[in-house]
């Protein structure tokens, strides 16, 4: 009985060695492409197997299952699914920039539909794939035994075009991965020709020809820094966006975002589902419906918008939250002499051109050897034809073929090959015409040999042939670039896509907000009835109205002493009579929390302050920069004591005068320097003495003395008074009279700074809007009741006031450029 021989080994060594063997097998034989032909072994075997089956372009299709069986049985001893999946991808025009296999049947779609089973589909090679295999029979590449040593397969394809750059490649090996984007064939050919003309060419110069990747699904490449980095270092990140058009429905004026091109490898059906999920989760507002209307004429993913939606805001959110914007991480890793290497653009071209140079030399040597063999045979035929009678006599006297061959070799000094060719020659070749053909062919072959020797002796000629073949490939298969390049060095900001213009912002008592173009309001004379300005429910009315730029930010201050941050262009635009959008959809307000003040700012400067006042007369100053990073749920702006609430917030530079107006018709004026800066969570200090039944309703901040203050009552009365009529006091005083309040005039609801060139907008609880010139309102003393500014219906009252400057950018009053009126 034979004894088993057991050899003990260290398990750590065995695991390490085995894993290294496995890793190298995956790297070299499965996951990474060869820099010369851009193919992994499975792709190479599929193309070779199809070629061996005679499935050239233009010939009949064969079942995919037949091809899979051929490849599995002869070259690729792995799963049939892996081979068929490879074939499917080589067919898909949305996966490869230049498909290598021509398919008949269902090979899947950009929606992620699965291909039909291999028994149903049929395939053959594309014409461009024949260029990969061209001259394979001329010993242009090395062959190696297949897995069972029964056949041979090529180690690399001759590849007459740069497949690695043109079609790209992706794969995950062990400890490394490759992700090479596809490119435009014409551009790559131009780059290769430029490289051959100048081997010292820089990558930057090559990039004038090879501008950027060119994806089969088109789309847009946003920003060029990632492209440049990838070409220079072999690694980089590309931002790819979907291409969209904005269409307007003439029936209802609603806009639709039409997606016509997607980023590479994005599944259209999953994208549609993702958009629907985000809409349901309210992460993207303004979309009413998403429909796929794609057909054979092209892609049309229709994203229908609501009437009050801001198209550019919706589009920006789609780019931010969905695959309509994707990052393509470039890793230009390929096998060079069997070793994985990260390559830049120039190195990729260098190794490919070296490969083509070797192919041309080996092909020329093969053609030369064949030509020399033919010349040798023709020389023998010529000798025999020149001595025809003797040759015939020699053959007739010979006992058998071997004797005839030996006698011909001996008598006419022929080689064995020549003697065999003479014996195999047909009798019709002995005619005069055929003899002349042999003479002509011999001269042509000698000429060919001279040309081939000249090629082998001249590197310049060799590269000229390579260039000419490249140019022919470009002529036969080149096309226009599909992916558009947007040469941006930084991320495109949303503000840069939005027109900067002044708008009126209105907020109702129930918390509905909208923006309206200033020009939608027409001027009226003092005492006019006004026009409908906002559709409100019976119990709702407009509380706030102010002017802002679409490029500004708005800080909202609430009754809870919190601050919220919102961009003006994110506020839905609506018609003058529309109700607007609930603030709860734009900001996460707490139950019972209401907006009480706002600040409109362009940037968060370190030198500016937020001054806040409460109805109980408290005042506080905090640096604006402390509000630059608010959360969606808001941040603390001021600590509000029980029974108090915030009524106003203004932007200042630390040197303003402050006027606090009370509903009783009294106002107190003091310097901002009397209030020291405090943190966001502080309560503040007393700004005005408030008696029982009194409350502060307005705050004005200014750096000038020559301004006029407009005071308005809830009954629609108002007047203008010079600031200088209000004597300066210390903060905490009871103040001086600013308007003689009584039952007819009503209580003071607002005090704002105005100029003669301004317009005044009044809005009532019933939604009536009145616009008039400030210059039509008389300047009167403090101790007067004013004049009627608007005629009110019974039960109606003024609820909001805003000043509309002639030019929002006028230098006049600097503080009013940053903050606007409040009721």
Q: Are 341 and 40 in contact (CB under 8 A)?
A: no
Question: What global pTM score does this model have?
Answer: 0.67
Do the beta carbons of residue 790 and residue 524 sit within 8 Å? Answer: no
Q: Which range has the worst mean pLDDT, 1-5, 59-63, 113-117, 513-517?
A: 1-5
d(CA 599, CA 358): 72
Q: Is the dihedral of CA 638, 644, 647, 648 positive or negative?
A: negative
Pick from 540, 486, 554, 600: nearest CA to 765: 540
Please give the sequence-ordered ranges of beta strands (E in DSSP) within 283-404, or none if there are none.
287-292, 301-305, 325-331, 333-336, 339-342
Catalytic pick among 19, 120, 195, 487: 120
Measured CA to CA, the distance from residue 377 to residue 383 in angstroms comes to 10
Reported as a pLDDT band with limits 50, 70 and 90, residue 541 is low
% pLDDT > 90, the chain = 55
- For residues 286 and 313, the answer to whether their CB atoms sit within 8 Å is yes
Indicate left, alpha or beta for 159 from its phi (over 0: left) and psi (-120 to 50: alpha). left
The neighbour count for residue 432, using CB atoms within 10 Å, is: 8
Average pLDDT, the chain: 88
Give the pLDDT confidence score for residue 149 in this predicted structure.
Answer: 94
User: What per-residue confidence (pLDDT) applies to 531?
Assistant: 52
Fold of 499-817: Neuraminidase (2.120.10)
Query: Does this chain's domain 18-185 share its CATH topology with 499-817?
Result: no
Instruction: Give the range with max mean pLDDT: 20-24, 461-465, 744-748.
Output: 461-465
Alpha carbons 772 and 610: distance in angstroms, whole number: 30
Show the CA angle centred on residue 17, arms to residues 11 and 23, nearest 5°.
Answer: 130
Print burial letters for 384-395: b (CB count within 10 Å at least 16), e (below 16).
bbeeeeebeebb
Please report where in the chains the tokens 């060869």 appear, as a residue.
34
* H or E segment and range at residue 433: helix 432-456
The count of other CB atoms within 10 Å of the CB of residue 347 is 17
Token pair 């070629």: residue: 51
Neighbours of 304 (CB within 10 A): 17
| Active-site residue flag, 120 | yes
Fold of 352-477: Topoisomerase; domain 3 (1.10.268)
Sole residue written with tokens 């027409």 = 522
Contact 80, 89 (CB under 8 A): no
Return the beta strands (E) in 471-552 as ranges. Answer: 484-486, 502-508, 512-517, 531-532, 542-549
Residue with tokens 């260098």: 350
Asked if residues 517 and 550 have their Cβ atoms less than 8 Å apart, the reply is no
Lowest mean pLDDT among 192-206, 236-250, 354-368, 452-466: 236-250
Residues whose CB is less than 8 angstroms from the CB of residue 125 and which lie 6 or more positions away in sequence, other chains included: 47, 50, 51, 55, 56, 57, 100, 101, 102, 133
CA-to-CA distance for 75 and 56, rounded, in angstroms?
A: 19
Residue 806 · residue 547 · CB < 8 Å: no
pLDDT in tens, 169-189: 999 887 889 999 999 999 999
Cα gap 588→582, rounded to integer Å: 11
The pLDDT value given to residue 550: 83
pLDDT band at 814 (very low <50, low <70, confident <90, very high): very low
Q: How far is Cα of residue 54 from the mean position of the Cα atoms in its chain?
A: 43
For domain 18-185, give the CATH number: 3.90.199.10
DSSP string, 650-679: EEE-S--EEEEEETTSEEEEEEGGGS-B--
Taking residues 506-522, report their average pLDDT: 75
Q: CATH top-level class for 243-323?
A: alpha beta
Q: What is the pLDDT of residues 570-601, one digit of tens each?
A: 888 777 777 788 877 788 888 878 888 778 88
pLDDT in tens, 352-399: 999 999 999 999 999 999 999 999 999 998 888 888 889 889 989 888
Return the bridge partners of 221, or none.
240, 485
Domain segments of the chain as ranges:
18-185, 243-323, 352-477, 499-817
């Amino acid at each position: 009985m034979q004894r088993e021989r057991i050899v003990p080994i260290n398990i750590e060594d065995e695991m390490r060695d085995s894993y290294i063997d496995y890793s190298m097998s995956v790297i070299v034989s499965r996951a990474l492409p060869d820099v010369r032909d851009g193919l992994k072994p499975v792709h190479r075997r599929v193309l070779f197997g199809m070629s061996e089956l005679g499935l050239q372009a233009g010939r009949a299709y064969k079942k995919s299952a037949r091809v899979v069986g051929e490849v599995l049985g002869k070259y690729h001893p792995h799963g049939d699914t892996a081979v068929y999946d490879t074939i499917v991808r080589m067919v898909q025009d949305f996966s490869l920039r230049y498909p290598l296999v021509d398919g008949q049947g269902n090979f899947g779609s950009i929606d992620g539909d699965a291909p039909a089973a291999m028994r149903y589909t049929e395939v053959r090679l594309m014409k461009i794939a024949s260029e990969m295999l061209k001259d394979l029979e001329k010993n242009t590449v090395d062959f190696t035994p297949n897995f069972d040593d029964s056949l041979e397969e090529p180690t690399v394809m001759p590849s007459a075009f740069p497949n690695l750059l043109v079609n790209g490649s992706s794969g995950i090996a062990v400890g490394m991965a490759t992700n090479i984007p596809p490119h435009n064939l014409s551009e790559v050919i131009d780059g290769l020709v430029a490289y051959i003309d100048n081997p010292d060419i820089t990558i930057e110069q090559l990039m004038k020809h090879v501008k950027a990747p060119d994806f089969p699904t088109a789309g847009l490449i946003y920003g060029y820094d990632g492209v440049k980095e990838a070409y220079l270092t072999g690694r980089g990140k590309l931002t790819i966006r979907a291409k969209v058009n904005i269409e307007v429905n003439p029936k209802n004026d609603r806009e639709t975002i039409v997606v016509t091109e997607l980023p590479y490898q994005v599944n259209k059906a999953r994208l549609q589902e993702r958009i629907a999920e985000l809409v349901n989760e309210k992460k993207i507002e303004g979309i009413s419906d998403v429909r796929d209307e794609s057909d054979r004429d092209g892609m049309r993913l229709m994203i229908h918008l609501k009437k009050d939606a801001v198209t550019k805001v919706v589009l920006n959110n789609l780019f931010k939250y969905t695959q309509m914007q994707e990052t393509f991480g470039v890793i230009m890793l390929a096998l060079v002499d069997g070793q994985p290497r990260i390559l830049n653009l120039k190195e990729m071209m260098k190794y490919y051109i070296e490969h083509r140079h070797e192919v041309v030399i080996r092909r020329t040597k093969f053609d030369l050897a064949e030509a020399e063999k033919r010349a040798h045979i023709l020389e023998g035929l010529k000798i025999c034809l020149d001595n025809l009678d003797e040759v015939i006599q020699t053959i007739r006297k010979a006992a058998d073929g071997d004797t005839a061959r030996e006698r011909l070799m001996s008598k006419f000094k022929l080689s064995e090959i020549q003697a065999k060719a003479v014996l195999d020659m047909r009798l019709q070749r002995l005619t005069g015409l055929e003899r002349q053909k042999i003479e002509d062919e011999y001269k042509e072959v000698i000429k060919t040999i001279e040309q081939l020797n000249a090629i082998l002796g001249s590197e310049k000629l060799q590269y000229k042939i390579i260039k000419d073949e490249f140019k022919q490939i470009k002529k036969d298969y080149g096309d226009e670039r599909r992916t558009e390049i947007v040469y941006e060095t930084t991320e495109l900001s949303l503000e840069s896509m939005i027109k900067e213009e002044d708008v009126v912002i209105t907020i109702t008592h129930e918390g509905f907000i909208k923006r309206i173009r200033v020009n939608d309001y027409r001027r009226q004379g003092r005492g006019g009835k006004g026009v409908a300005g906002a559709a409100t429910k019976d119990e709702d009315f407009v509380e706030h109205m102010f002017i802002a730029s679409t490029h500004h930010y708005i800080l909202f201050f609430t009754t809870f002493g919190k601050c919220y941050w919102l961009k003006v262009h994110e506020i839905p635009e609506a018609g003058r009579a529309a109700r607007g959008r609930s603030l709860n959809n734009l900001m996460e307000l707490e139950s019972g929390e209401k907006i009480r003040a706002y600040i409109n700012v362009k940037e968060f400067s370190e030198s500016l302050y937020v001054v806040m006042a409460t109805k109980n007369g408290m005042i506080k100053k905090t640096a604006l920069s402390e509000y630059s990073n608010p959360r969606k749920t808001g941040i603390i702006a001021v600590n509000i004591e029980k029974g108090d609430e915030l009524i106003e917030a203004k932007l200042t530079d630390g040197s303003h005068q402050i006027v606090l107006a009370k509903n009783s018709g009294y106002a107190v004026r003091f310097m901002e320097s009397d209030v020291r800066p405090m943190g966001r969570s502080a309560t503040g200090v007393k700004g005005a003495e408030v008696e029982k039944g009194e409350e502060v309703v307005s705050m004005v901040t200014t750096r000038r003395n020559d301004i006029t203050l407009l005071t308005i009552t809830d009954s629609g009365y108002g007047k203008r008074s010079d600031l200088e009529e209000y004597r300066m006091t210390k903060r905490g005083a009871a103040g001086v009279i600013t308007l003689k309040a009584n039952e007819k005039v009503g209580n003071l609801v607002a005090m704002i700074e105005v100029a003669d060139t301004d317009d005044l907008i009044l809005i009532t609880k019933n939604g009536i809007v009145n616009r008039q010139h400030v210059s039509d309102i008389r300047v009167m003393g403090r101790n007067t009741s004013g004049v009627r500014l608007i005629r009110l219906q019974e039960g109606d009252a003024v609820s909001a006031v805003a000043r509309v400057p002639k030019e929002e950018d006028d230098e006049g009053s600097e503080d009013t450029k940053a903050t606007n009126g409040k009721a």
